[in-house]
Structure 1
């Protein structure tokens, strides 16, 4: 008896979630299809029913962050309270650079967890990564609506958030991890101020 379409969708989602977690922890090159499928509780043979290649899966894993990230979860829970674009943008900066997000490797954003991997990856992962950059920038541009240099400011806020987390992840010094993120947060919030 063939599986239902819902089963195929659920299986694909399990594979993507397994891949996203493993890629965040180990990077694209170090993770094999066998490891991804085993972590999803599936056999390698099923992989090609859902994906043409590891690159396609990588792109899906990067793109999946839009719905599984801490910000999306928190804003979905508080949708009624967060209609103000400026408040939403400030909340994203605070959450993105928080201790909770830094400490939870499984929820790391691909923008800071995988930049070197994506730079070496194929077109599909780069397109998914670009969509994340644009999506984050859109939140900040919306908060800066009416400001003359909104686009430039929004891109600077994205760069501060992502850069702050990239650097914080690379050092073993806990004080430096905190101060890097605090400095990035301070500058990002200053750029989001609309007078």
Structure 2
């Protein structure tokens, strides 16, 4: 009896989530299809029912983060999607730069976990990564104090996104916890200044 479309979709989502976590932990090149499928508790042959290549899966794993809800992963954080304006932008910055996000390697945003892999990847992967950046910058641009839809708002959104991602990339590479915290605090302070 063939599987239902719903079952196939759930299986595909499970493969994407397992791949996303493994890519975050090890990077694109160090993760095999066999490893992804074992993590999803499926056989290698099943992979090709959903994806043609590992790179196609990588595109989907990066793009899937666009629908990420931080409360689903870190319920202890203060995040209300109903907030508007500067309050929304500040909470976005605070969640992105949170200790919970920094410490959760499996839950990292691909912009933090995978920039080197994406830089060497196909145009499809780069397009998905850019889409993620555009979404983040757009959300920040709408909320960061400049008139919506203006070039000033876009520049501010891009600057905030770059500041947050860059701050977290640097903090992730530092072993000294005091310095990691100093980087996160400085980034958060400067981001808040851009918002207000």
TM-score by length of 2: 0.91
Over the aligned positions, Cα root-mean-square deviation in angstroms equals: 1.8
Consecutive unaligned residues in structure 2, runs of 5 or more = none
What secondary structure sits across from 2:9 in the alignment?
helix
**Number of the residue aligned with 1:97:** 97
Aligned length: 190
Separation in structure 2 between the aligned mates of residue 15 and residue 98 of structure 1, nearest angstrom: 27
> Matches of 1:164 and 1:72 in 2, distance apart?
23
**Who is 2:40 aligned against?**
40
Which digits, 9 at most, give the CA deviation of each residue in 1:23-80, with x for residues without a partner?
Answer: 00000000000000000000000101101111110011011112235267669x844x
**Post-superposition offset of 1:83:** 3.5
Q: Which position in structure 2 is the counterpart of 1:83?
A: 83
The aligned counterpart of 2:133 is 133
Helix, strand or coil at the partner of 1:3: coil
What is the CA deviation profile of residues 79-105 of structure 1, one whole-angstrom value per residue up to 9, with x for unaligned ones? 4xx231321111010011111111111
Partner Cα distance (1:139, 1:188) in 2: 14
Quick one: distance in 2 between partners of 1:175 and 1:83?
Answer: 32
1:109 maps to 109
Do residues 166 (structure 1) and 169 (structure 2) align?
A: yes
Q: Displacement of 1:11 after TM fit? A: 0.5
**Aligned equivalents of 2:155 and 2:175: distance in 1?**
32
State how far apart, in whole Å, the 2-side matches of 1:78 and 1:188 are. 19
Q: Which residue of 2 aligns with 1:146?
A: 147
Deviation sequence 1:130-174 (CA, Å, 0-9, x none): 011000001111013417622211111111100000000101110
Q: Give the unaligned 5+ runs of structure 1.
A: none
Q: Specify the SS of the correspondent of 1:49.
A: coil
Match of 1:22 in 2: 22
Equivalent residues of 1:85, 1:139 under 8 A apart: no
Which has the larger share of helix? 1
